Amino acid sequence: MSADPTRRRTSGARRRAADALSACALALLLLSGCGGADAPLVPVYRVAQLLDPPLEQTPLHCDIGDVFRPTIGCTPTVPLPIQSLPRPAGRVLTVPVQLPAEVKPPLVAFDARIRGPRQEWRRVPTLLLAYPAGGALDLNLPFPDQVNGEPVEAQIVVRPIPPSHQEHVTRTLPIGRGAVLQLALGLDPLGARLGGAPVRFDVIAETDAGPVQLLAKELVPGKGRGWEQHEIDLARFAGQKIRLRLVSDVLVRPGTPANEAFGFPLWGSAQILEPRARDGRRNVILISIDTLRGDQLGGTLDGKPLMPKLDALADQGARFTAAYTTYPSTTAGHMSMLTGLYPAKHGMIFATGYLSSEISTMSEIFARNGYSTAAVTEDAMLTAYVGFVRGFDDYREVKGKTMWETSGEIEQTFGAGLDWVARHRDERFFLFLHTYQVHTPYTPPPAFDVFRHWEKDGQRVPIDASTPPAVRDRHLYAGEVLYTDSVIAQLVQRLTDLGLRDDTIIVVTGDHGDEFGEHGAIGHAKTAYEEVLHVPLVVLSPHLVPAGRSISTPVSLIDLLPTLLDLTHLPEPAGLHGTSLVPLLHGGSFPETRVLFAEAPHWGKFGHRVAIRSAGFKWIASERPENGIELYDLTTDPEEKKRLDDPDLLALGRSLEAAYRSIPNTAQTGAAEESKPGAPKKPEIDDATVDKLKALGYMD
Ligand SMILES: [Zn+2]
């Protein structure tokens, strides 16, 4: 350890540490143990869930800048159905609007977009209007010059603006020793766009002895950026019961009629934390390197190692040499990683629709069990609203230029994650990091662009303009991998410097690989061969995960959630497809008949495919019968070059495929479901087949 972990602690934090030590001493007296000398701060009250009266709905996540937080005061953004209307004679398009029940007085913001046939949408300026009588009005929009054709389409998105004075009061809350209140204040950016007024925020503790002002703050729209974070020491209330009152008042600017003043105050991630015995529950950091092939860890190119630093780190824990994704693209693979479910069930194939509320995510489970939670992602396909934001106190999207921008910002992303960890290191935490660094475009920093030769006809030759593009890309990709390897090592070193290594489980994995023409495709989200399904998986945690274990048992991203819950002694939700890997960490084994599934989307003539792995075999079954079913023996043919034609095995593959395709899809996609090209079909499977598969050990 190269740094004193108490070095940066505030006096408040020192006091909490003292309280923690005394809590620990008490635990030792009671022979209950305290999980070491520390007692991390854990969220005991999430304020949004304790309001009296309660919020009408689960607190929404609101974003300021790139950071989403569960927010009190966040009002829903409600898209209305697209309307087809006659082209107007003049420059004004009148759109009839009927506001839905969730949009309420006093004011409503209207965002609108208009297009002609086969045109891109054109946005028109946001309007702010008083709530109309009966919720109905005719909205007169300026008609953009660029819109051609007949008829035209218009879509309105509405957002209610809250009242100018609001109070949110909690139930009575017993306050323990060492308690702190954390919250973030902010103004919705929509308010700044519409000329909103400044807002005063007051936090008051209602005690038996009267009110105590804890915070008074004024925020001005457009000034300052992002959330303003506050931590308030509640030590003086230890042993008492209090109610928290969160008050916001829109401040009327001089000269503005009072009835026209509006603001948009947001209370983000408000929670009370108290020290608790660690109980063996470690922090968790899950690192997903998007598009990192499984063969990079331990691999070499042009005689040089690709990931020497992660390779050395993996020796301090466990590595899985046959880990698989469930889908060779970002949204679906990550959703499996975070839910323990196959895409056939979670249904989140691309960044459309919403994850079913019946499914719990990893972050929701950790948040429910005393973890502070944060994510830093690179935004393209992990968009918050799909469901990735759920359960996170702090969900940061490091923005690319567009939603499809995947250039990778690993230092910025990991740096933001480390900043969050440094601020929350006294807490028990779960952090999810995601980077597109090794995804296209392949642009390694010059210092890592060292794979400059390839083997052509048995000769080592420099890579130049005449080198086939797939070979050039393969080598540039390797440079990105080498760079990423160094940044992962820096992150782990920094966690060590912060004194967090011993109390933290670190998982490094990826959502899918990348292919360079091995089976005729470039990139991913096309085939279901090993180059895109095989991912790295390393699990590190001193004295919890035995060091030096290399595990060749096939495992899947669906196993991560049950594994992490097992390692943190938390119960897993019913119905997960994955299995805890903890027995493997300790030298155990799984039945050879365990079946792992993955999918590949529609691509060219191949149709949607299900990949199946079991007992050393791999099947790739197309939904189109004319494409047949591919079968490989991975033990003798790891590169999937030689198709087998054993009829019994092929029939078994079709049965397994049918079992997978029969999994009910729970995605809440509505009309969007039709447009999802990769959406799994749902063919029937008969009871006799289920019984047969169970008898063979292929189904539980
Ligand atoms: Zn991806």
DSSP letter string, 619-681: EEEESSGGG-EEEEETTT-TT--S----HHHHHHHHHHHHHHHTSPP--B-GGGGGG-TTPPP
**Helix (H/G/I), strand (E/B), else coil: 130:** strand
- Give the whole-angstrom CA distance, residue 62 versus residue 400: 20
**Residue range(s) in the chain whose domain bears CATH number 3.40.720.10:** 283-587
**Residue 389 pLDDT:** 94
CA 415 to ligand 1 centroid distance, Å: 21
Residues 579-628 have pLDDT tens digits of 999 999 999 999 988 999 999 998 888 899 999 999 999 999 999 888 88
Rounded to whole angstroms, how far apart are CA atoms 48 and 52? Answer: 10
User: pLDDT digit string (tens) for 289-343?
Assistant: 999 999 999 999 999 999 999 999 999 999 999 999 999 999 999 999 999 999 9
Tell me the fold of 11-74+164-275: Jelly Rolls (2.60.120)
CATH code 2.60.120 region(s) in the chain: 11-74+164-275
Distance (angstroms) between ligand 1 centre and the Cα of 377 equals: 12
What's the gap in Å between 633 CA and the centre of ligand 1?
27
pLDDT, tens only, 252-280: 877 777 667 788 999 999 999 999 998 88
Segments of the chain assigned to CATH 2.60.40: 78-161
CATH architecture of 283-587: 3-Layer(aba) Sandwich (3.40)
End-to-end CA distance of the chain: 46
More confident residue, 699 or 394: 394
Compute, in angstroms, the gap from residue 343 CA to the centroid of ligand 1. Answer: 14
Please give the helix or strand (H or E) that residue 364 lies within, else none.
helix 362-368
Ligand 1 centroid to Cα of residue 438, in Å, is: 10
Pairing of strands 228-233, 61-64: unpaired
| Å from CA of 331 to ligand 1 middle | 7
**Average pLDDT of the residues in 489-506:** 97
Q: pTM for the whole thing?
A: 0.88
The angle subtended at Cα 416 by Cα 298 and Cα 75, nearest 5°, is 125
CATH of segment(s) 78-161? 2.60.40
Distance of CA 332 from the midpoint of ligand 1 (Å): 9
pLDDT, tens digit, for every residue of 509-545?
999 999 999 999 999 989 999 999 999 999 999 999 9
> Residue 329 C-alpha to ligand 1 middle, in angstroms?
5
Distance 516 CA to ligand 1 centre (A): 16
Instruction: Give me ligand 1 centre to Cα 612, in Å.
Output: 20
Q: Write the class of the CATH domain 605-695.
A: alpha beta
Whole-number pLDDT of residue 504:
97
The residue that leads in pLDDT, 46 or 684, is 46
CA-to-CA distance for 409 and 399, rounded, in angstroms?
A: 9
Separation of alpha carbons 499 and 678, rounded Å: 44
When computed from its CA atoms, the radius of gyration of the chain, rounded to whole angstroms, is 28
Residue 191 — φ and ψ, nearest 5°? -60, -40
| Residue 119 C-alpha from the chain's centroid | 33
